[in-house]
Chain A
Amino acid sequence: MYVDRLPDALKGALPAPRRTAAGQAVNAALIIYALCLAAGLGLSSAYWMTGGDYPFGAVRAGSWTVWPKAGSRDADPYTRAVNARTGGIPLGIGEGLVLRAAADDAGRALDARCTYRIGTTAPQARYWSLTLYDGAGRPVDTALKRSSFSSAEVLRGQDGGFTVALSREAESGNWLMMPESGEVSLVLRLYDTPAASAAAALDPRSLPSIVRGECGP
């Protein structure tokens, strides 16, 4: 090549040498690699983030989690995507508020082998319901044929407080039977509640506590 015979000072002024076939193959491989990385990472992260709970906007109050904006016009795109994928129909802010708990007051995941006591207060609402779900998001299906208590049917003490017991063995008072095994979760729904508009500032003391008792094998 004549370029090799030129003085070094002149070489820099010349246009870059044409790419070789090997260089072009490397470039093509890098472009394909970048596109695969984009598609794989972008799609899998989107899939992963819209499959379970709402990823953003959660507010914690004690052991309960609330998504104050899930039932409003301001719901973020992730919340909408989660609902679209699960078929969920959120409760509107004007209807009420949904609180979820997957762990007890000490932060340990709710386990079907343990016993729990839930009580004794709930925020002001026209009605509330407390439901026990299995790991797949269905109300528990046990021999008791009951998976929830509403504020109207729950038995209360003399001070107006209530206690709901979760356990495998029958207990007196408000009792929900635990499924045989696996993780469980609780949902407290407050219907027609002033707390809905101020959900981000819920007082944990107004919410039922979740206290773990004994655990089986």
Chain B
Amino acid sequence: MRLLARFVLATVCGLVLAGLVHLSAVLAVPYLAEKDAFSRLRGTLSADRSEIVATPGDHGTWLPYPDPDVALATCAYTLDEGPVRVSARTGPLFQSLSLHARAGGVFFAITDRAAVRGALDLVVMTRRQLDEALASEDPDEPSRDVRIVSPGREGLVVVRVLAAFASQREQAAEAAKSVSCTIDRE
């Protein structure tokens, strides 16, 4: 009987610990994963232009559940060397831009409706870089940049361009990979 009680106690302890292990594993997965989008695209960190991940009509992408009507291109960024300036030209096709923190999900998304004179310009920065930019700014000539604070130092800029007709696929892919992501040194 005494042995049974100890066995039950050990089981209860094991279950409580299992809960903790479960929670820590789920929280750790985004940081340990090797097949997440950021890790797969880490090689493109130094590129100045977005690189295509999925072309419309092509089924050979690693993206799960890709939309075959959409050209998807990404820029991987790291804010270690300064804020990142993202510039996209909008065209006749539906286009959307979203910012994904590594291990953090989407933190900003807009469509081409927000474009000013056919251009979408964003500056992605850390909270500290924003404070520095605000401090060094001339109060009479405030910057017109749209500044977005990234919750992490690493992430992805994701561009989606919709090819509503098969004939627009090439145009959509061209538009998706023409987004520039450069380090803003000022």
Query: In the complex, which residue of chain A has the Cβ closest to the Cβ of B93?
Result: A127
Number of residue pairs across A and B with beta carbons under 8 Å?
Answer: 200
Asked whether, in the complex, the Cβ of A127 is within 8 Å of the Cβ of B10, the reply is no
What per-residue 1/0 map shows which CB atoms of B85-107 lie under 8 Å from chain A? 00000000010101010011111
Kindly state the separation between the CA atoms of A166 and B131 in the bound complex, as whole angstroms: 55
Interface of B is mostly: mixed
Query: In the complex, which residue of chain A has the Cβ closest to the Cβ of B31?
Result: A84
Kindly state the separation between the CA atoms of A31 and B6 in the bound complex, as whole angstroms: 10
Chain B: minimal CB distance from A89 (Å)? 5
B36 interfacial contact with A, CB 8 Å: yes
Asked whether, in the complex, the Cβ of B17 is within 8 Å of the Cβ of A38, the reply is yes
Q: A84-B29, A95-B109, A153-B164 are in contact. Are A89 and B14 (CB under 8 A)?
A: no
Chain B: minimal CB distance from A137 (Å)? 5
Q: A38-B18, A41-B15, A78-B26 are in contact. Are A90 and B10 (CB under 8 A)?
A: no
B118 interfacial contact with A, CB 8 Å: no
Apart from the given pairs A92-B98, A148-B68, A187-B67, 15 other A-B contacts in the complex at a CB distance below 8 Å: A27-B6, A38-B16, A41-B14, A46-B26, A73-B106, A85-B35, A85-B36, A87-B63, A89-B37, A89-B100, A89-B156, A90-B106, A91-B98, A126-B94, A131-B67
CB pairs A–B below 8 angstroms (22 shown): A37-B15, A38-B15, A38-B16, A38-B20, A41-B15, A42-B17, A43-B25, A46-B22, A46-B26, A46-B29, A50-B26, A50-B29, A84-B35, A86-B35, A87-B63, A89-B72, A91-B160, A94-B98, A94-B109, A150-B69, A192-B94, A192-B96
| Closest CB pairs A-B (n = 4) | A42-B21, A92-B109, A37-B14, A38-B17
Residues of B within 8 A of A (CB): 3, 6-7, 9-11, 13-22, 24-27, 29-30, 33, 35-37, 40, 53, 59, 62-70, 72, 74, 94, 96, 98, 100, 103-111, 113, 151, 156, 158, 160, 162-166
